[in-house]
Structure 1
């Protein structure tokens, strides 16, 4: 081996030993509360990636969409067509708030979605429940943040993962979450006049 190869191998061996030592201390297992928020694209996309991981591992899971209406999306169509036996999918919203323009109706639909979400989360058979765009419903106060936080802390089964997406996650939700990711917008084609495209946005 050359000197460079030997140095690299020694460096990687040292790094692996340090990593293995850290990993040996990580022994706990629990159902996580995960929040995907921020102005950047990818919040729901990443959450659906987690749902598809559950499906691939044969873990029952569920999706509740709080805001998005019945429009066709790749994830929704695929789950309804091929994975209904393992992943329940509930589209409870009627579209974004600027489309419906009816606060009382939006509140009613959000409350119905939350009731369904609680049923799904309480069922210990569901290993993961995705609450897609719930942060929007919380931001507009269609739901009571105190009730949502209290439920997640006190009633979520120990091994159930709950993923909550949407911009402007409430500080109280971030406080109780185990995993929080903020998507940062650096560049987006929409600003250059490019419309939402199939396979990328939906």
Structure 2
């Protein structure tokens, strides 16, 4: 049947959970598509692995973290292109799982219309699961989802001055 899954909240682990689901699906012979809406500047571990993983189509389409952006119009255009790629994968039927990593930021910043996303999710072909990640998931998205997981921050290394750790954070 396929499901809509949302990983949201202020805690760490939303992308990690989605990629764990991707690994599970790949292990069952499913084809997986990933579109990253915000990440883009860093060469992450998942990008390295995606390049050598059969059955995984991985698109890094963001311009980097929005709080570092010098041109939010450029970021908005990148989000719209990422959404077009996402729609292709959702509607194309070649991928059993499509992960829209950090799409909720694009919704939160009004770069993408929630109604368009909900319509695409509702009209997706049978058997396609879509995972949407990021903070600030809107209530309408959570209402449409079959599964919503909220990651809550209890403690975080950044709070104590620790920098991102290669292989753990990126």
Q: TM bucket by the smaller chain?
A: over 0.9
Residue 90 of structure 1: which of 50, 59, 65 is its match? 59
Within-5 A mapping of 1:75-154: 75-80=46-51, 82-83=52-53, 85-153=54-122
Structure 1 match to 2:26: 55
TM-score (norm 1): 0.82
Q: Tell me if 1:195 matches 2:163.
A: yes
TM-score (norm 2): 0.97
Larger-gyration structure (1/2): 1
Q: Which runs of 5+ in 1 are unaligned?
A: 1-29
Distance 2:19 2:145 in 1: 18
Contact 1:60/1:86 (CA < 8 Å) preserved in 2? yes
Q: Which runs of 5+ in 2 are unaligned?
A: none
Deviation at 1:158, TM superposition (A): 1.5
Deviation string, structure 1 residues 17-51 (Cα, Å, up to 9, x no partner): xxxxxxxxxxxxx2000000000000000000011
Distance 1:76 1:31 in 2: 26
Deviation at 1:125, TM superposition (A): 2.1
Structure 2 SS opposite 1:47: helix
Deviation at 1:137, TM superposition (A): 0.7
Structure 2 match to 1:183: 151
Q: Which has the higher contact order (CA 8 A, sep 6+)?
A: 2
Count residues with an aligned counterpart: 170
Q: Tell me if 1:158 matches 2:129.
A: no
Distance 2:81 2:94 in 1: 21
Structure 1 SS opposite 2:12: coil
- Higher helix fraction: Structure 1 or Structure 2? 1
